[in-house]
């Protein structure tokens, strides 16, 4: 196994795995395995109000039932506060961090897509307020391994964004950047619902002097009405007793060629996935 490639699957435990999340799990697994890389699993449990320990157990059991085994012990973001605080310190030392007292309501009233920097020079005491990172007005470009060149000016699209939420709770953008760097992740393979977070994450990587991984965004599994499969749209939990068929369905949603019917165990099927995975077949859009 090489350390030139370390990939990961990083679910938030908001519910059991469904077809959509299995597509991300299998896509990240296959891309890592095909390149003789490592594959890690990280449970992104930083929001106790939305997440539950039961969902964590269900996700872990479901991955196991589908033969998707991580190369190292599963890690949990709730263990990592110390590292997120260290990252906030780095931003604070660079004077890139400030507390924000704006409410959702006050921001909505501004009718602007990006945060206009209202609290930038207010010097609010941090206490448990939300903290925002100061973002420069510059275009960030990266090459997605499936979608090609993507550009975004974060300052204009979202503005100074939140890295620690009121509470305080660590924000996804901060936690994901810190952990991808700590775990030496080289390839981030995930659903394209996360595409528009990528430029923000790159902006943070630069401020924190973290290496920038490669990105590959997978098509989203959608329901018959074209809506993303998710708990919110009532996606069904995977039936672990039907694991092989679930893998077949996920593989087909990844645009890959149909494997022979003669593969009758998850293990045989995954061996096939490992050798036959082809990035060029991954569709740009879900069908």
Binding site for ligand GLU (CB under 6 A): 10-12, 44, 176, 190, 194
Which option in Zn ion, ligand GLU, none does residue 194 bind, with CB closer than 5 to 8 A by kind? ligand GLU
Listed residue (33, 35, 11) closest to 23, CA to CA: 11
Per-position DSSP letters for 160-179, written without gaps between them: SEEEEETTTEE-HHHHHHHH
Which option in ligand GLU, Zn ion, none does residue 129 bind, with CB closer than 5 to 8 A by kind? none
Contact 182, 173 (CB under 8 A): no
Which option in ligand GLU, Zn ion, none does residue 192 bind, with CB closer than 5 to 8 A by kind? none
Strand order in the sheet with 214-218: 75-76, 38-43, 6-9, 187-191, 214-218, 139-144, 148-153
Burial 65-81 (b: 16+ CB within 10 A, else e): bbbbebeeeebebbebe
Verify binding: residue 134, Zn ion, rule CB under 5 A.
no
With respect to Zn ion, which residue has the nearer C-beta, 118 or 157? 118
Joined tokens for residue 263: 């593969």
Shortest CB 12 distance to ligand GLU, Å: 4
Verify binding: residue 107, Zn ion, rule CB under 5 A.
no
Which option in ligand GLU, Zn ion, none does residue 41 bind, with CB closer than 5 to 8 A by kind? none
With respect to ligand GLU, which residue has the nearer C-beta, 40 or 176? 176
Which option in Zn ion, ligand GLU, none does residue 118 bind, with CB closer than 5 to 8 A by kind? Zn ion
How far is CA 27 from each of CA 97, 168, 250, 254, 286, rounded to the nearest angstrom?
A: 35, 33, 8, 7, 14
Give, for 22, the enclosing helix (H) or strand (E).
Answer: helix 19-34
Among 118, 157, 205, 268, binds Zn ion (CB under 5 A): 118
Verify binding: residue 119, Zn ion, rule CB under 5 A.
yes
| Beta bridge partners of residue 39, listed in sequence order | 7
Shortest CB 124 distance to ligand GLU, Å: 29
How far is CA 141 from each of CA 30, 149, 150, rounded to the nearest angstrom?
A: 26, 7, 6
With respect to ligand GLU, which residue has the nearer C-beta, 100 or 194? 194
For residue 218, the SS3 value is strand
Listed residue (167, 147, 118) closest to 283, CA to CA: 147
Which option in Zn ion, ligand GLU, none does residue 10 bind, with CB closer than 5 to 8 A by kind? ligand GLU
Shortest CB 51 distance to ligand GLU, Å: 10
With respect to ligand GLU, which residue has the nearer C-beta, 38 or 272? 38
Question: Which of these ranges, 29-37, 79-87, 111-119, 243-251, lies near Zn ion under the rule CB under 5 A?
Answer: 111-119
Shortest CB 171 distance to ligand GLU, Å: 12
> Mask 246-275, x = binds Zn ion (CB under 5 A)?
------------------------------
- Say how many C-beta atoms besides its own lie within 10 A of residue 112's C-beta: 10
Which option in Zn ion, ligand GLU, none does residue 75 bind, with CB closer than 5 to 8 A by kind? none
């Amino acid at each position: 196994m090489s350390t030139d490639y370390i990939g990961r699957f990083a679910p938030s435990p908001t519910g059991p795995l469904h077809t959509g999340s299995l597509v991300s799990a299998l896509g990240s697994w296959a891309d890592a395995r095909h390149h003789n890389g490592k594959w890690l699993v990280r449970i992104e449990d930083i929001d106790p109000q939305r997440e539950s320990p039961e969902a964590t157990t269900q996700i872990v059991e479901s991955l196991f039932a589908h033969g998707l085994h991580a190369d190292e012990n599963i890690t949990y973001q709730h263990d990592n506060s110390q590292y997120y605080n260290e990252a906030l310190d780095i931003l604070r030392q660079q004077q890139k961090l400030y507390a924000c007292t704006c409410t959702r309501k006050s921001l909505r009233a501004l009718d602007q897509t990006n945060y206009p920097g209202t609290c930038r020079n207010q010097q609010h005491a941090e206490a448990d307020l939300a903290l925002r990172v100061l973002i420069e007005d510059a275009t960030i470009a990266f090459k997605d391994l499936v979608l090609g060149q993507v550009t975004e000016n974060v300052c204009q699209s979202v503005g100074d964004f939140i890295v620690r939420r009121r509470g305080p709770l660590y924000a996804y953008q901060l936690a994901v950047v810190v952990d991808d760097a700590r775990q030496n992740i080289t390839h981030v393979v995930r659903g394209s619902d996360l595409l528009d977070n990528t430029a923000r994450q790159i902006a943070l990587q630069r401020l924190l002097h973290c290496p920038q991984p490669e990105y590959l965004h997978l098509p989203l599994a959608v329901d018959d009405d074209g809506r993303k499969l998710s708990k919110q749209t009532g996606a069904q939990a995977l039936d672990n007793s039907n694991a092989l068929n679930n893998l077949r369905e996920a593989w087909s949603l990844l645009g890959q060629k149909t494997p022979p019917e003669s593969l009758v165990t998850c293990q045989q099927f995954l061996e096939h996935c490992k050798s036959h995975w082809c990035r060029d077949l991954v569709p740009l859009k879900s069908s």
